[in-house]
Amino acid sequence: MDYVSEFRDKTLIAPLLAELKQTLTRPLRLMEVCGTHTMAIFRHGLRAILPPEIELISGPGCPVCVTASSHIDGFLDVAQRDGVRVAIFGDLFRVPGSQSSLARAQAAGAKVEIVYSPMDALTLAEKHEGEEVVFLAVGFETTMPLVAATILEAGRRKLAHFSVFSAGKIMPPALHALLADRELALDGLLCPGHVSTIIGAEAYEPLVRDYGISCVIAGFEPVDILQAVLLLARQKRDGRAEVENGYARAVAWQGNSRARQVMNEVFAPVDTPWRGLGMIKASGMAIREEFACFDAERKFAVRLPESIEPKGCLCGEILRGRKKPQACPLFKSRCTPMDPVGPCMVSSEGTCAAYYRFGEGR
């Protein structure tokens, strides 16, 4: 068992699809919250084999896509200062702010390094003692515990020339903000697998209670995704709305309390802007006062400008599930992965990038 191929096995997929067809009592509008789900659905061509009654809507679960342009502008402000070297995850490289991107800043001379772990940024700091190394942190509960651990480690190593610019976000407040929009009329959520490993299945119980929505946590392989869709269809057929864990091999009911503890030790909740969703209360992760010496925003006295969304770009509507990429006048004309206007086109996990790369499907 290699934990991949068996979850892509056609002989397992066929009976799931057959049962799904029998279970559907009416059309279902489901949101896949997580960008990795969006990409997996396209990559495996699942839209082509799902019954036409299932409408999949992509949600706000791509950390790069929901990073407000004001944060990107703040990142650029720091990256362009003398004596600074910034470290980023790869998908942040091409994301446009209101004027430029880190890729363009690098072409103009800024020092931008792509790392695979925030801890790699500490190694960079040790290598470049004469510079301030700043990790530009974008991510949800999945990545932010590791960012927190990196800050704690920087403290242990006494790295005074290392800091973090945090645009980290917490997922549940954004889901509350989305579901409060009754126009969206969702029948269920495919809850994110990676985030759920940290926050646990229990984190979705308030959503069920407050909005009566069915929540199923899904893994990222075709069998995982189809099974989660089937669980949601069964809930609808039976008139139930509850949290079910379809990814039990990775997600525990209580999640990972140690990771949350590290995250909460370093970060405190703060109101923060989400691209397309606006300001959401207590949904951001600010570096706590005790770690101010590792907070790039304070070190460089960054003032975040107001977010200016590109003219004509519908990323906001797309992130809220209100519009599909084809409805955007810029899609595939002014906005392509080569020259993206909005973040949904630039991130490898963005909805528009998925529609562009893999065909528009349904």
Partner 1 sequence: MKNDTILLDHGSGGLASGELIRDIFLSRLGNPVLGQLEDSAIIETDRGRLAFSTDSYVVDPLFFPGGDIGLLAVHGTINDLAMRGARPLCLSLAMILEEGLPLDDLQRIVASIDNACRESGVPVVTGDTKVVQKGKGDKVFINTSGIGLVDEGLDISARMARPGDAVILSGSMGDHGITILGQRAGISLFGNLRSDTRALHRLVQKLLATVPGGAVHTLRDPTRGGVATSLNEIAAAAGVAIELDEDCIPVTPQVAAACEILGMDPLYLANEGKCLAVVDGTHGAAALAAMHGMPEGRDARIIGRVTESPPGQVVLHTAAGGARIVRSLTGEPLPRIC
Q: How far is the CB of 53 from partner 1 (least distance, A)?
A: 17
Q: Which is nearer to partner 1, 63 or 321 (CB)?
A: 63
Token reading at 76: 């650029």
Task: From 4-12, 71-79, 173-181, 268-276, give the range in contact with partner 1 by CB under 8 A.
Answer: 4-12
Sign of the C-alpha dihedral, residues 88, 302, 274, 196?
A: positive
Q: Which is nearer to partner 1, 213 or 274 (CB)?
A: 274
Neighbouring-strand partners of residue 201: none
The DSSP-derived string for 14-76 is: HHHHHHHHHH-SS-EEEEEEEHHHHHHHHHTTGGGTS-TTEEEEEEEE-TTTTB-HHHHHHHH
Q: Three-state SS for 241?
A: coil
Q: Determine the Cα–Cα distance for residues 259 and 145; give it in Å rounded to an integer.
A: 5
- Our finding on whether 358 is near partner 1 (CB under 8 A) is yes
Residues 154-193 close enough to bind partner 1 by CB under 8 A: none
- Our finding on whether 327 is near partner 1 (CB under 8 A) is no
Phi, psi dihedrals of residue 138, rounded to the nearest 5°? -125, 135
Of 55, 103, 293, 323, which one interacts with partner 1 (CB under 8 A)?
103
Of 23, 69, 70, 101, which one interacts with partner 1 (CB under 8 A)?
101
Of 85, 161, 169, 194, which one interacts with partner 1 (CB under 8 A)?
194
Instruction: Give the binding-site size for partner 1 (rule: CB under 8 A).
Output: 56
Q: Which is nearer to partner 1, 25 or 123 (CB)?
A: 123
Block residue for tokens 């998908």: 91
Q: How far is the CB of 211 from partner 1 (least distance, A)?
A: 25
Residue window 208-247: x/- pattern of binding to partner 1, with contact defined by CB under 8 A: --------------x-------------------------
Q: Determine the Cα–Cα distance for residues 187 and 24; give it in Å rounded to an integer.
A: 12
Q: Determine the Cα–Cα distance for residues 320 and 184; give it in Å rounded to an integer.
A: 8
The DSSP-derived string for 110-153 is: -EEEE-SSHHHHHHHHHH-TTSEEEEEE---TTTHHHHHHHHHH
- Our finding on whether 294 is near partner 1 (CB under 8 A) is no
- Our finding on whether 100 is near partner 1 (CB under 8 A) is yes
Residues 57-76 close enough to bind partner 1 by CB under 8 A: 63-64
Of 75, 135, 140, 247, which one interacts with partner 1 (CB under 8 A)?
140
Of 20, 24, 44, 170, which one interacts with partner 1 (CB under 8 A)?
44
Block residue for tokens 């869709």: 229
Token reading at 161: 């020339």
Question: How do beta strands 278-287 and 267-274 pair?
Answer: antiparallel
Token reading at 99: 């004027």
Q: Which is nearer to partner 1, 63 or 188 (CB)?
A: 63
Query: Which residues would be at the binding site for partner 1 (CB under 8 A)?
Result: 2, 4-5, 8, 10, 13-14, 36, 42-49, 63-64, 89-94, 96, 99-101, 103-104, 106-108, 114-116, 120, 138-140, 142-143, 194, 222, 336-339, 341, 348-349, 356-359, 361
